[in-house]
Amino acid sequence: MVEGFYSLGVLRTKSGKERELLAAWQALCDGFAQLDHPPEGSVTLVQSTTEPSLHYSFAPWRTLEDFQAIWSNPRLLEGFRKMADCCSEATPGVFRVVGKAIYGPKEDEHGDRAVKR
């Protein structure tokens, strides 16, 4: 059974604000440690190779409730505000995992074996 959720933020930086965005994002990630149930695994920020102002931030969450706990944490709310201040667009979202493909010799966190393709 596929389980879990991912938060996905779409971030389009204002010109000259890229370093500020990265610093605000890192501070936000540090704040996740305050949560009873922080993201499972890596929180990742990627930048478009064709549109340098476009970034996506994503993180895996065990449950929807774990993700929703961020909205009641003042430090995290301030972190999101600082990130948004660096952006012309900052759109948060949360998505349910509905499929997964595992490659390589390892098992995933649910014990599912990798499939050779």
SS3 81: helix
Q: In the predicted model, what is the mean pLDDT of the chain?
A: 90
Roughly what angle, to the nearest 10 degrees, separates helices 18-31 and 74-85? 170
CATH number of 5-96: 3.30.70.100
What was the pLDDT predicted at 107?
Answer: 66
Higher-confidence residue of 36 and 110: namely 36
pTM over 0.75, yes/no: yes
Give the pLDDT band of residue 113 (cuts 50, 70, 90): low
Check residue 80 and give left, alpha or beta (phi > 0: left; psi -120 to 50: alpha). Answer: alpha
